Amino acid sequence: MVGATVIRWRPVVFVLALLVAVGVVGTLFVDVAPQAVEAEARDLEFTTPEDVGVSSERLKRLDAGMQAMVDDGKLAGVATMLARHGKVVFTDAAGKLDIAKDAPVELDSIFRIYSMTKPVVGVAMMMLYEEGKYQLNDPVSKFIPGFADLEVYTGEGSDGMMETEPLARGRRITMRDLMKHTAGLGYVLNPRHPVTRAFQQTAVLDANASLQTMVDKIVKVPLIAQPQTTWAYSSSVDVQGYLVEHLSGQPLADFLQEQIFRPLGMVDTAFYVPVSKKDRVASIHAPTREGGLRPTYEGRGALRTEPPAGPSGGGGLYGTAPDYIRFAQMLLNGGELNGVRLLSPRSIELMASDHLTEEEKSGYRRPGQTWGLNFSVVTDAAASGEAWSNGSFYWLGIAGTWFWVDPEEDLVFVGMIQANGPAINEVQQLSRSLVYQAVVGD
């Protein structure tokens, strides 16, 4: 698949034998900087697939499936990891960081994880919830007064200007609404909507401005709907980022680093990539009309090498597969990883519960799924058309990174790509079918 600096686990027995031979059990890297190896080796435990009810023979299909996505020109590169019963049983890296260059994707390659930032900020919010800093049903206006007087978009007048109405009597945006996308806030993903255009024109989500500035702008833009009437993917997690700062008294980046990344050993996750690491970053690739791929270096493809003034809680993080699988394993473990506890099991259960009313579910059109607190939650696997279990929860990033946690099967999966187009959905669905066909025992 890729260069010789990454060993893929097929079969895992071979890798374990090699690691025992060199005296480094617990890592899958060769010729990687010692600091990265040591950081990753401390917390990740590896085993053979059969030890945890997974078929190594069937895992070859997952390996081949990811390779085929690269060989067919649908993806430039991909890195994946699978763990069951708390132990990693599969790692893989295929393709290139950039098709215009020769550097291969490796397991510790760095990706823009975009909206996979949202679950991380959700954990930060729940940590503050456990400290008694707020209640889920508290009005956001308790902490951001401008949320008490928001206007709601109702249409456009003959002059092309937005028409609005006040919040309905008795309606108030709650902290829970921010975490389940029912606040009615706008976003930047639908450029045809007048509220989206207002977001763009006023540069609400400007990484070069403070989160206080972001909040000051956001309260001046109308909501797209009355609160608690529909699910609408939104800027609410960026507001959560501000609230983490407000409630903790720390900058968002510092809180995440000190309270989540450092304790979990997430050594390469941050809101920027230091210049010393930029050669490890994958480029975003878009499909061409001719059926190929081209790297993009502007817009979403731009690389931030300095800390942003206003880190995006909704989509600003960079990270690696080994880092994020630590985070995902912590979630599966009920808030704990290798003796470090961030949250109680009950808080994780609360996050992964169905929080949408029947009215609100009209806006969430993923069959067999609902929304928890900063996660999508599977409530009817059969209706979803996929093999994961009821109670699984997950999310993804706009450039294709994805992960899921399956408590019933006691497994977590992380996939990292940088893409644009139909290959994103294809590789994510393919990974799930190929993971579950390899799970053959308890």
What's the confidence (pLDDT) of residue 52?
98
For residue 37, is pLDDT > 60? no
Backbone φ, ψ for residue 236 (5° rounding)? -60, -30
Same domain, 423 and 335: yes
Same domain, 346 and 290: yes
Same domain, 421 and 281: yes
What's the confidence (pLDDT) of residue 44?
81
DSSP per-residue codes, 121-161: HHHHHHHHHHTTS--TTSBGGGT-GGGGG-EEEEEE-TTS-
Best-predicted range by mean pLDDT (157-171, 196-210, 237-251): 237-251
| Segment 304-335, tens digit of pLDDT | 999 999 999 999 999 999 999 999 999 999 99
What's the confidence (pLDDT) of residue 283?
98
pLDDT (average), residues 433-442: 98
pLDDT (average), residues 420-424: 95
Tell me the whole-structure pTM to 2 decimals.
0.91
Domain count, the chain: 2
pLDDT (average), residues 162-190: 96
Taking each helix axis as running N to C, give the angle between helix 56-71 and helix 423-436, from 0 to 180 degrees, rounded to the nearest 10. Answer: 170
pLDDT (average), residues 230-246: 98
DSSP per-residue codes, 176-219: HHHHHT-S----SS-TTSHHHHHHHHTTSS-TTS-HHHHHHHHT
Domain membership flag for residue 266: no
Domain membership flag for residue 314: no
What's the confidence (pLDDT) of residue 35?
34
| Segment 87-98, tens digit of pLDDT | 999 999 999 999
Residue 132: alpha-carbon gap to chain centroid: 26
Q: How confident is the model at residue 43 (pLDDT cuts 50, 70, 90)?
A: low
DSSP 107: T
Same domain, 194 and 104: no
CA dihedral 286, 288, 292, 298 (to 10 degrees): -30
Same domain, 291 and 429: yes
pLDDT (average), residues 184-204: 92
| Segment 263-314, tens digit of pLDDT | 999 999 999 999 999 999 999 999 999 999 999 998 888 999 999 999 999 9
Backbone φ, ψ for residue 272 (5° rounding)? -155, 170
Domain membership flag for residue 364: no
Same domain, 201 and 286: no
User: Which domain, by its residues, includes 343?
Assistant: 12-113+272-306+320-351+397-436
Task: Look at 72 and 35; give whichever has higher pLDDT.
Answer: 72
Same domain, 329 and 205: no
Share of the chain above pLDDT 70, in %: 90
